[in-house]
Structure 1
Amino acid sequence: MKRIYIAIVAILVASFSACKKDAYLTDDGLHQAEVNMSTYDYLASHPKHMFDTLLQVIDHFGLKDEINNAKTFWVPSDYSISRAFKMKKALFLEDDENGTYTFADFLTATSVDSVRAYFYGDGQHSLTSANTTYTTMNNNTPVTGFAFNKQKQPQGQWSYQDVYYLYYIKVRGEPDQTAPDGSVRVDRNDQADVRVLCQTTGIKTASGTVLNVLSNQHVFISDFNETGDNGPFIEDLPNGIRFTYSVAFKAASAYTGGSVVASSAWIADAFGLEADDIPGLMGSSIVFYAIEPGDILNGNSTANAPGHWFDANGNVVTWGTTARLFSEYNASTFTFNIGQYPDRSAMGDTYTIKQALVYTNRSNEKIRAEFVFNIKIN
């Protein structure tokens, strides 16, 4: 499968004692936390040109002064915008295979208020100001329902300090409940909120803006669109818990799909663990499986690990002629990224794929957290 995932690096100044006092680690090396440039000029001067396409969007809508005057800018990278453009182009070509879809067409179809959802004038928000509970924000546009919080990460071998990542959140329905560590619990009658990891946080520009750069895996604007009620429906099992989700996305000539954020709190309750301990146990006492027809567990990853390609019947296959869907699990965020093999499905197709986390506790009991995805192509 020709898909690239960009490594996400969170920054915490105190965690890197070998760095200079005024420097911090980002995905592209060492930078100063405070820069003597305006917000627009700083983005334009990035040595890796990670924001050139973003600035095209800013220029198209005449938003240069607004981003310079913003107190906080949750910055989508060019990777995020490219993902959105490719998705829109693929959907357009599904309807008109001989047509052309340019970036100018993409800009024309984009709402200026949806772009304004990324910057705020109500305060300087960053990892240092975040709580584990949600902090809501208001940017005085019709696009509302955004918040941010920090979530504690499992302790790694490289640090014994508490490490938190910053998340930019689109609330869907009622806000998800947060545990003391910042992990979320989704009510069974509600949708999971969309949580976007920040790969860099706390850059302060001369024009007074705090910049938090979003994960390259974020899909510009599209991640925040309403997707309908996708569950989960939750059932207790004799040896664990089962989550059933309804997922829908359009047939496309690209590896597009959707994502599902599982409830770390409920998984932790089923396993009898703390939520922040679970990612660190992956691959040892917690093993990730596909559940094939006949309740057969398959622990061999055939997509980006841990993850699987599935055929039309829910069997695990490799990338190739029989592959229909993939589901890949991000252990640190409890997120399943689900997508399709290009040009392999059509409107109206339905599939069911299943995966599981299986925890072997100290009493040698095996406890399952099962995830069932009922997928409809529309």
Structure 2
Amino acid sequence: MKTLYRFALLLAFGLAVVGCKKAAYLTDDGLHTAEVNLSTYDYLAAHPNGMFDTLLLVIDHFKLKDEINKAKTFWAPSDYSVNRYYKQKADSVKYVDENAQYSFDQFLNEIPVDSVRAYIYNDAPYNLETASTAYTTISNASNVGGFFYHRQKQPKAAWSSQPVYYLYYVKVRGEADQISPDGIVTVKEDDQADMRIYCQTTGIKTASGTMLNVLANTHTFIGDFVPRLLTGPKIVETGSTLTFTYDLSIKYDAAGYTGTTVDLLLPRLARFYGVESGAISALVGKDITYYAVQPDGSLNANSTANAPGHWFDTKGQTCSWGTDARIVSELATSTMTFNILQYPGQTTVGSTYTVRQSLVYKSKTKGDLNAVFVFNIKIK
């Protein structure tokens, strides 16, 4: 059996030839007909570079082989996607104890089967040809809502005189993004951008009747669909201070570092700072400093968790990891999201913990502009 860590030997899929009306596609070993004489499971198992070996371990663990073969549509994550989520889970364990082991069997036992079924659709075959430029709602085998698909027009390509479209698998977060027929994506201010996953290969019809669409290697298996805060924060702007107040809830966990992820509302923050949304991530650690806000209002720039981030005690004071720690909030600068987790077994059901952090931008024209993030976290 090929191991999880064989990814360095895998070759990435080529881009789908999506502009043509023919249902042709590229894989890493050339152009093929879109119909194959293997079942869905056998086709994934037969990939010459083992691109789905780890995905098949997940399928086998949950005994989903028949479901995969009978599905009308399967949005298949590659091993890269599965490995990305496995690494996230393993890193959270090693953060507590760098010598801790986190086996793939542990990983499998912690995956909810309904999360895997979010990729399986039994109602109809979906591919580039059936897609509209507008979002079309689809219903997966786990009955988890909020999933759509659509095709998006791409900028004119030098190699094609015809319009080129890519297929996207979508999980709506907050209010649905608006996609124009010309492919322009508009996210409503103070809303979250949808999780839109590009399909690197689309329209493979297997012998068992499944329409197979392969998701981009950059997708994080399950992790991209983890529920995030869908209701916006209360926002108050006073002079040089912009305050976002979030009311969150986390289920008590005696064993794991569990919690939630909160998207920083970049369009609103960018307007406050007077910069482009896309520029903010690169400014953190330079013109933007990340602080913990202590209960007395003082600022602490020293990270006490994975930098940039802080552990907080019961009073919202920064502390080190250990017996006083209750809540940790860390900023993922690549995605500009806050990861807010509890210390296992040290929170109390029914209690609310309030932690505060801020991002202070040194504007050359307006002076210090302080964006404060207040998280009221109730343990259920």
TM class by shorter chain equals 0.5 to 0.7
Q: Secondary structure at the match of 1:268?
A: helix
1:263 corresponds in structure 2 to: 265
Q: Distance in 2 between matches of 1:196 and 1:294?
A: 38
Match of 1:31 among 3, 6, 12: 12
> Alpha-carbon deviation of 1:52?
3.8
Taking a change above 3 Å as real, the CA distance of residues 234 and 169 of structure 1, as seen in their structure-2 partners, is: farther
Counterparts of 1:120-269 in structure 2, within 5 Å, are 121-124=125-128, 136-141=135-140, 142-147=143-148, 169-172=170-173, 174-175=175-176, 184-185=187-188, 187=190, 193=192, 195-196=194-195, 202-203=200-201, 207=205, 209-212=212-215, 213=217, 215-216=219-220, 218-219=222-223, 223-224=226-227, 230-252=231-253, 253-269=255-271
Letter in structure 2 aligned against 1:262: L
Q: Distance in 1 between matches of 2:374 and 2:307?
A: 18
Number of aligned pairs?
Answer: 309
- Report percent identity of matched pairs: 30
Q: Distance in 2 between matches of 1:232 and 1:149?
A: 29
Q: Secondary structure at the match of 1:269?
A: helix
2:95 corresponds in structure 1 to: none
1:160 corresponds in structure 2 to: none
Q: CA RMSD in A?
A: 4.4
Is 1:60 aligned to 2:64, yes or no? yes
Task: Please say which structure displays the higher CA radius of gyration.
Answer: 2
Taking a change above 3 Å as real, the CA distance of residues 184 and 27 of structure 1, as seen in their structure-2 partners, is: farther
Is 1:305 aligned to 2:307, yes or no? yes
Q: Secondary structure at the match of 1:346?
A: coil
Letter in structure 2 aligned against 1:31: A
Q: Distance in 1 between matches of 2:12 and 2:365?
A: 49
1:71-105: CA deviations, max 9, x gaps?
Answer: 74456626648989xx9xxxxxxxxxxxxx99689
1:202-252: CA deviations, max 9, x gaps?
Answer: 14585463311464484486x14x87x643111112103111101101111
> Alpha-carbon deviation of 1:148?
6.8
Q: So what's the TM-score if we normalise by structure 2? A: 0.65
1:338-359: CA deviations, max 9, x gaps?
Answer: 1011111121121000111111
Are the aligned partners of 1:122 and 1:139 in contact in 2 as well (CA < 8 Å)? no
Are the aligned partners of 1:183 and 1:275 in contact in 2 as well (CA < 8 Å)? no
Q: Secondary structure at the match of 1:62?
A: helix
Taking a change above 3 Å as real, the CA distance of residues 177 and 291 of structure 1, as seen in their structure-2 partners, is: farther
Letter in structure 1 aligned against 2:12: H
Are the aligned partners of 1:250 and 1:257 in contact in 2 as well (CA < 8 Å)? yes
Q: Distance in 1 between matches of 2:115 and 2:127?
A: 24
Taking a change above 3 Å as real, the CA distance of residues 211 and 115 of structure 1, as seen in their structure-2 partners, is: closer
Are the aligned partners of 1:197 and 1:215 in contact in 2 as well (CA < 8 Å)? no
Q: Secondary structure at the match of 2:12?
A: strand
Taking a change above 3 Å as real, the CA distance of residues 48 and 103 of structure 1, as seen in their structure-2 partners, is: closer
Letter in structure 2 aligned against 1:123: N
Q: So what's the TM-score if we normalise by structure 1? A: 0.65
Q: Distance in 1 between matches of 2:249 and 2:355?
A: 13
2:277 corresponds in structure 1 to: 275
Taking a change above 3 Å as real, the CA distance of residues 265 and 312 of structure 1, as seen in their structure-2 partners, is: same
Q: Secondary structure at the match of 2:64?
A: helix
Are the aligned partners of 2:311 and 2:319 in contact in 1 as well (CA < 8 Å)? yes
Q: Distance in 1 between matches of 2:281 and 2:184?
A: 14
> Alpha-carbon deviation of 1:65?
2.0
> Alpha-carbon deviation of 1:302?
1.7
Q: Distance in 2 between matches of 1:325 and 1:118?
A: 41
> Alpha-carbon deviation of 1:30?
3.5
Is 1:350 aligned to 2:352, yes or no? yes
Taking a change above 3 Å as real, the CA distance of residues 305 and 147 of structure 1, as seen in their structure-2 partners, is: farther
Are the aligned partners of 2:174 and 2:231 in contact in 1 as well (CA < 8 Å)? no
> Alpha-carbon deviation of 1:267?
0.4
Q: Distance in 2 between matches of 1:167 and 1:319?
A: 41
Taking a change above 3 Å as real, the CA distance of residues 72 and 102 of structure 1, as seen in their structure-2 partners, is: closer
Q: Distance in 2 between matches of 1:277 and 1:181?
A: 20
Q: Distance in 2 between matches of 1:176 and 1:145?
A: 12
Letter in structure 2 aligned against 1:255: Y
2:82 corresponds in structure 1 to: 77
Match of 1:50 among 48, 54, 77: 54
Are the aligned partners of 2:235 and 2:242 in contact in 1 as well (CA < 8 Å)? yes
Taking a change above 3 Å as real, the CA distance of residues 59 and 347 of structure 1, as seen in their structure-2 partners, is: same
Match of 2:364 among 362, 367, 372: 362
Q: Distance in 1 between matches of 2:145 and 2:308?
A: 34
1:93-151: CA deviations, max 9, x gaps?
Answer: xxxxxxxx9968976x74886453799833249xxx999xxx5243344544224799x
Letter in structure 1 aligned against 2:126: D
Say which is worse superposed, 263-272 or 305-314, in terms of deviation. Answer: 305-314
Say which is worse superposed, 72-81 or 296-305, in terms of deviation. Answer: 72-81
Q: Distance in 2 between matches of 1:245 and 1:298?
A: 21
For structure 2, list consecutive stretches of 5 or more residues without a partner in the other structure: 1-6, 15-25, 30-35, 93-105, 152-166, 206-210
For structure 1, list consecutive stretches of 5 or more residues without a partner in the other structure: 1-25, 88-100, 151-165
